[in-house]
Structure 1
Amino acid sequence: MAKAKAPRRTLESYTVKSINKSVRGKPPSLPFAASRSAVGRRSSSPSRAFFFFFLWPVPSLRSVGDCVLMRPSDPAKPSYVARIDRIESDGRGTNVKVHVRWYYRPEESIGGRRQFHGSKEVFLSDHYDIQSADTIEGKCTVHTFKSYTKLDAVGNEDFFCRFEYNSSTGAFNPDRVAVYCKCEMPYNPDDLMVQCEGCTDWFHPTCIDMSVDEAKRLDHFFCESCSAEGKKLQNIHSASRLVADTKVDTKRRRR
């Protein structure tokens, strides 16, 4: 008679006892391969490049709702970003699995990376997966777009998300965002922009024939439209004063 499998237990948290790091060099053995279930996206075979993993003994607690970095099968690729939705183990408390929801980088989406995508931008996808907890490298933070732009310093573990992504259709939610500058592009927090004091719109220095160094030295800035409007108003005001002065002189001469 076959022995019944022990039921799996749901855990609130899991302690990562060691974090795997990749180091260039001659491998003592083939690295562990972590696969993802997206067909054609990730290879499940171990890489034979000259990299090896060593264990960095840093105990770290991971909980449901945490965002984590997960080890890819190819050491040359950046770590995957995921959100933990559930943690479970077998009856003995071993063989811990994590149910995750993947974040996609722009280059992993159907449309690819575009000019306005930030270097630390990720999309919350509808792609769910189950992975071994041993593939967790460490914790990261996925900020909202607004909170990310307010960071004084951006670390390696900081990311931001402003879109949800449908991995089957390539659709984004929201499908529209505010655009800025003459190029009418969404805001990229990696790029310097200057704000017009007239219309309060933002502009890339290159779009207004200005270098980044010149933009950094600006104390005040008015865009071309606001400058033209300002000159127009100034000319109207000067003409009005000239007419008024002419009328006064005429009255004086009549006396």
Structure 2
Amino acid sequence: MRPSDTGKPPYVARVEKIEADSRNNVKVRVRWYYRPEESLGGRRQFHGAKELFLSDHYDVQSAHTIEGKCIVHSFKNYTKLEDVGAEDYYCRFEYKAATGAFTPDRVAVYCKCEMPYNPDDLMVQCEGCKDWYHPACVDMTIEEAKMLDHFVCSECSEDDLKRSQNGFHPSPVSDVK
């Protein structure tokens, strides 16, 4: 929906109902999505550029303020998209505008930095423990991470070292003759 300040990005809302009044003015009842910077806590490091919060803030607007259609995906579906278009957004939280409360109030965290996943940031997965890490958190550049074929975190590589020092050697399967 078109903001009054043309320097701002368009507002995003879910159309709940479309109706015309007695003078045939078409109105839409909408439920607003908030951008992280519009919420009480503000934008945080883990919020993606296309992240929105579905709010409990309803409103009635003129249908003329609608600029176009976008798609607000679930977080899970958004992370599976092959190509993210300009019209694609995602939502993983509901937001109570009056109190600033979020649902869910907790989300899974990853990496040494214990941050929620931001789909805009590259992460590498350890082949040992299957945990995910930001390249910078494991002393690696993004370019180095993109060139990796395999990654083992420091904890798993230390575990491998301890096992080999204790005399445990995983033996390769060999043909017995």
Fold shared by both chains (TM-score > 0.5): yes
Once the two structures are TM-superposed, the CA of residue 106 in structure 1 deviates from its matched residue by 0.1
> Which residue in the other structure is 2:36 paired with?
106
Structure 1 residue 168 and structure 2 residue 98: aligned?
A: yes
> Which residue in the other structure is 2:81 paired with?
151
> Which residue in the other structure is 1:56 paired with?
none
How far apart in 2 are the matches of 1:112 and 1:238? 51
How far apart in 1 are the matches of 2:167 and 2:152? 19
> Which residue in the other structure is 2:175 paired with?
none
Instruction: Give the AA of the match of 1:209.
Output: D
Instruction: Give the AA of the match of 1:73.
Output: S
> Which residue in the other structure is 1:228 paired with?
158
TM-score normalised according to structure 1 size: 0.65
Deviant stretches of 4+, over 4 Å: none
**Equivalence map 1:86-125=2 (5 Å):** 86-91=17-22, 94-125=24-55
Specify every segment of 5 or more residues in structure 1 that has no aligned partner in the other structure, as ranges. 1-69, 240-255
How far apart in 1 are the matches of 2:114 and 2:27? 45
Structure 1 residue 85 and structure 2 residue 85: aligned?
A: no
Once the two structures are TM-superposed, the CA of residue 234 in structure 1 deviates from its matched residue by 1.4
Once the two structures are TM-superposed, the CA of residue 91 in structure 1 deviates from its matched residue by 3.9
Once the two structures are TM-superposed, the CA of residue 238 in structure 1 deviates from its matched residue by 6.1
How far apart in 1 are the matches of 2:147 and 2:162? 27
- Flag the structure with larger Rg: 1
Instruction: Return closer, same or farther for 1:238/1:103 CA change in 2, 3 Å cut-off.
Output: closer
Once the two structures are TM-superposed, the CA of residue 99 in structure 1 deviates from its matched residue by 0.3
How far apart in 2 are the matches of 1:155 and 1:203? 26
What CA deviation, in whole Å up to 9, does each residue of 1:198-235 have, x standing for no partner? Answer: 11000000001100000011111110100000111112
Structure 1 residue 76 and structure 2 residue 7: aligned?
A: yes
Specify every segment of 5 or more residues in structure 2 that has no aligned partner in the other structure, as ranges. 170-177
SS of the counterpart of 1:102?
Answer: strand
What CA deviation, in whole Å up to 9, does each residue of 1:62-94 have, x standing for no partner? Answer: xxxxxxxx00000000000000111110246x2
How far apart in 2 are the matches of 1:175 and 1:192? 24
Structure 1 residue 209 and structure 2 residue 145: aligned?
A: no
CA RMSD of aligned residues (A): 1.1
Structure 1 residue 194 and structure 2 residue 121: aligned?
A: no
Instruction: Return closer, same or farther for 1:140/1:224 CA change in 2, 3 Å cut-off.
Output: same
TM-score normalised according to structure 2 size: 0.93
Instruction: Give the AA of the match of 1:137.
Output: E
What CA deviation, in whole Å up to 9, does each residue of 1:10-38 have, x standing for no partner? Answer: xxxxxxxxxxxxxxxxxxxxxxxxxxxxx
SS of the counterpart of 2:166?
Answer: helix
Percent identical among aligned pairs is 71
How far apart in 2 are the matches of 1:102 and 1:237? 61
Count of matched residue positions in the alignment of Structure 1 and Structure 2:
169
**Equivalence map 1:126-141=2 (5 Å):** 126-141=56-71
How far apart in 2 are the matches of 1:186 and 1:142? 19
Instruction: Give the AA of the match of 1:213.
Output: E
